[in-house]
Every structure is written in structure tokens, then in C-alpha cells.
């Protein structure tokens, strides 16, 4: 079974600041903020939510189908996807713009400041979702606003159950729009901050939100995650990482594991337990697509 992964493909420029942002920013001077950070370490990675989720699923043996756009500089990304044996059937190249670019700066406490140029991602709505042989599952992760709205409707029309994962795209939508996403979706995934924002905009609490879908997951970073089903919360404990090297892409690794479990028909708690393991594995390596999964990750799940 294959999974359609709607979201961004992006190049991540990742910079490491050896100090702490909090020590460089004066709270009483925010109205005239003018700071510069020395970043001795800089690298460029393949990223974007669709790319990162697809990488995680492929590492677990799944069949991800990214539904995404690249710009005129995206040839290297296309080659990488093919090298990883990830289908590019639904990856569109937009010649008149650049691929989406994320500039991410991380301090010594793993706080991050990100600037994001959407580029070709804003044309993602040009690719339509339709029923497809072998596709039984999908996810809507952060993408162009029009694409997220239209793909949700298209998933429902095609009879494909999907995960709504608004992530960084959540602020683009008002309460009515978010409520409609939830109405169309089968599952919702958010981190704790996004969960609070989603509920605030919809005017409900997490227990009520969970009653509107088959399952709700709220990830809690180092504290594991909560799964909500029919108003009942269950805590899934965290997995201790071997080391904390780079948080970039941890949430996407987690969602790739979630989709893998859903493909197998697992209970939501089992999917979440695998997500916690994969997130711990990812955080111990630099970049969102450089970790390797072995049999130990799946053992005992």
C-alpha cells in the first residue's frame, strides 16, 4: 500500500550558533531589534515536510508518494528521491521559480529561528489528488495555502483517509477553515503548542477535538506524546535519545513512523510508540534525512 504525502520539498540551510539566543536579545529593545549571530557551522540539507516524511517512511520499508513541487534548481532533489527509490510520479517542477528554501539557525539549547521562502511550494495546488491504484492513505502537511485547502477536499472526494498535520502552516487558517479540515480528516497530529493554537481558533478543547476524528496525537518533545481517542487521553512515554545533536526534522520522522503504522493497521498507541523511537533516532544525527533505521527500531513494537 502506498501513501500520498502532500507537503513541501525544500532545501534547508542549517546554521549552528554556539551561544544562546536569550543572551543576545534584549527584551526591552525588541522594538529596535538589530542582532547578528556568528555561525561557524553551516550546511545545506535536503528537507521540507514531504521530503522528510517520505524519507522516514522509506527507511521503514514503506512506499511514500510525495505530492510536491520543486523549482528550477530542484534537479539534485529529484535525483536524490530516485536514488532513495522514492517515486517522483507526483513531483512537479515549476520552471519560473526557486525550490522552497528554509534558513534555520539553532542555538546551543536547540532553540531555532527559521526564515522560509516558499518558492515553488506556492504552486502545489496545480497537482490534484485523485483515486489511485494501491493508495489507501494520505497526509496533508505544511504546504501552500491553496494546496492544503484543495487537497483536503480532493482526499475526501477520492475516498482516501488522511492525516491533517497543519504544523507551521496552522496560522494561515481561521477557525472555520481549521474546523473544516478536521471535519474532512481521519486523524490529526500537532505538537503541544500547535494543539493549543488549533483548539483556541476552533473554540474547543482537546477532548472535544478528538471526538471529531478517529484519533488525535499531540507530541510533547522529550516527554513523549498524548494520544486522544473519543475524548480519552493516553500518554505514550518518550524514548531516550543516544545524544541530542539536531532537532531539525524530528516531527517529520515521527509522522513518517505514524503513517507506517497506520499502513499496517496498527492501533494508534503502537504507531505513536514507533514515532517516539524514530524521533529519538533522528535527533541523534545532523540533518533531517541522514539517519539510518535498523531492525532495533522496530523490535518489540
User: Which member of 95, 109, 252, 294 is catalytic?
Assistant: 252
What is the pairing mode between strands 135-140 and 162-164?
Answer: parallel
Q: Which residues pair with 103 in a beta bridge?
A: 13, 115
Q: What is the rounded CA–CA span in Å between residue 11 and residue 99?
A: 7
Residues 259 and 251: their CA atoms lie apart, in Å, by 12
Angle at 169 between CA 167 and CA 170, to 5 degrees: 75
With beta carbons less than 8 A apart as the criterion, state whether 65 and 3 touch: yes
Angle value at C-alpha 259, between 140 and 295, nearest 5 degrees: 145
Three-state secondary-structure class, residue 102: strand
Instruction: Say whether 176 is catalytic.
Output: no
**Could you give the CA distance from residue 253 to residue 244 in angstroms, rounded to a whole number?**
15
Catalytic residues: 252
Amino acid at each position: 500500500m502506498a501513501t500520498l504525502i502532500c507537503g513541501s520539498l525544500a532545501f534547508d540551510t542549517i546554521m549552528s550558533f554556539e551561544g544562546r539566543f536569550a543572551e543576545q536579545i534584549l527584551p526591552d529593545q525588541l522594538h529596535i531589534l538589530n542582532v547578528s549571530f556568528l555561525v561557524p557551522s553551516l550546511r545545506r540539507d535536503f528537507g521540507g515536510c514531504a521530503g522528510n516524511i517520505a524519507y522516514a517512511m522509506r527507511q521503514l520499508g514503506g512506499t511514500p508518494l510525495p505530492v510536491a513541487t520543486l523549482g528550477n534548481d530542484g534537479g539534485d532533489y529529484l535525483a536524490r528521491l530516485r536514488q532513495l527509490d522514492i517515486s517522483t510520479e507526483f513531483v512537479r517542477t515549476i520552471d519560473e521559480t526557486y525550490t522552497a528554501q528554509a534558513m534555520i539557525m539553532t542555538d546551543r539549547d536547540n532553540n531555532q529561528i527559521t526564515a522560509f521562502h516558499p518558492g515553488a511550494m506556492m504552486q502545489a495546488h496545480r497537482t490534484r489528488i485523485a483515486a489511485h491504484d494501491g493508495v489507501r492513505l494520505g497526509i496533508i502537511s505544511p504546504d501552500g495555502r491553496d494546496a492544503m485547502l484543495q487537497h483536503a477536499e480532493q482526499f475526501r472526494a477520492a475516498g482516501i483517509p488522511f492525516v491533517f498535520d497543519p504544523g507551521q502552516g496552522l496560522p494561515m487558517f481561521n477557525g472555520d477553515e481549521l474546523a473544516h479540515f478536521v471535519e474532512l480528516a481521519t486523524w490529526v497530529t500537532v505538537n503541544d503548542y500547535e494543539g493549543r493554537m488549533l483548539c483556541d481558533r476552533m473554540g474547543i478543547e482537546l477532548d472535544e477535538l478528538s471526538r471529531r476524528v478517529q484519533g488525535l496525537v499531540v507530541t510533547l518533545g522529550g516527554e513523549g506524546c498524548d494520544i486522544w481517542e473519543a475524548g480519552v487521553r493516553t500518554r505514550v512515554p518518550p524514548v531516550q535519545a543516544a545524544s541530542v545533536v539536531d532537532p531539525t526534522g524530528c516531527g517529520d520522522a515521527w509522522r513518517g513512523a505514524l503513517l507506517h503504522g497506520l499502513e499496517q493497521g496498527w492501533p494508534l498507541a503502537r504507531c505513536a510508540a514507533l514515532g517516539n523511537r524514530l524521533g529519538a533516532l533522528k535527533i541523534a544525527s545532523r540533518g533531517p534525512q541522514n539517519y539510518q533505521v535498523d531492525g532495533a527500531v522496530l523490535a518489540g513494537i
